[in-house]
Amino acid sequence: MLPGPSSFFCAVLSLVSLLSFSGIAYSQEVAVQPRILQAVDDARRTTLRGNTHPLALARFDRGAAPASMPLDRMLLVLKRSPEQDAALLRLLDEQQDKSSPNYHKWLTPEEFGQRFGPADADIQAVTGWLEAHGFRLNQVSKGRSVIEFSGRAGNGAGGVPHPDSQLRGGRRFALGQRQRSADSAGTDAGGGGSVDAA
């Protein structure tokens, strides 16, 4: 016996309800919580480990960079929360698992940023700090994990507690020879450094 129109309608309605519920669960999972929870205070600094360029060695040091030296296309890399890292690893596994509903369901850069990037409030806090210190915001990547900005070596004087150096070795670099530091309020969200090669 073939199912009647009402059985077919009920099956479609059930499928639509299931998909709608999945969409609600997905949107709740996507909500990213801000990680910069206090006002940025340049007087409270925390050292960011592991972001000094390998060429930033004393033997290449040519002295402090002039404050007027342009620093174009610097990149600040923002890190994900441990929960976002775990969710990303889970998604990557699911995208390769043929039995998963996420099999080969790739994300656009914008979807990736919404799901695994920092909260809007965190991006606003970081870009606001950069602009307040005279840096020019070039762009925030579509994946929301990289902020590109430009300025001059002297721009960060109020917030970067050490001078950048000019280093030799084929090209001129403006790099800090010491570990970078950040406001203690933002150390959980920032994890990268920047390089300007001329």
Q: How confident is residue 77, by pLDDT bands cut at 50, 70 and 90?
A: very high
Per-residue pLDDT tens digits for 80-113 = 999 999 999 999 999 999 999 999 999 999 999 9
CB neighbourhood size of 120 (10 A): 12
Gap between the Cα atoms of 47 and 93, Å rounded? 34
For residues 116 and 68, give the distance between their C-alpha atoms in angstroms, rounded to a whole number: 36
* Contact assessment for residue 32 and residue 143, using Cβ atoms and an 8 Å cutoff: no
Residue bearing the bigger pLDDT, 73 or 12 = 73
Cβ–Cβ under 8 Å, residues 64 and 138: no
In this predicted structure, the answer to whether residue 29 has a pLDDT above a threshold of 90 is: no
**CA dist., res. 56 & res. 61, Å (int):** 8
More confident residue, 189 or 110: 110
CA–CA dist 160, 102 (Å, integer): 43
Distance in angstroms (rounded) separating the CA atoms of residues 174 and 159: 17
pTM: 0.67
Cα distance between residue 58 and residue 66, in whole Å: 18
User: Each residue of 142-181: pLDDT tens digit?
Assistant: 999 999 999 998 886 544 434 445 545 444 444 454 545 5
Amino acid at position 44, single letter: R
In whole angstroms, give the CA distance from residue 30 to residue 111. 9
* Residue ranges of domains in the chain: 5-197
Phi, psi torsion values for 109, nearest 5 degrees = -55, -40
- Tokens found for residue 6: 């009402």
Cα angle 42, 48, 52 (rounded to 5 degrees) comes to 115
H or E element in which residue 76 lies: strand 70-77
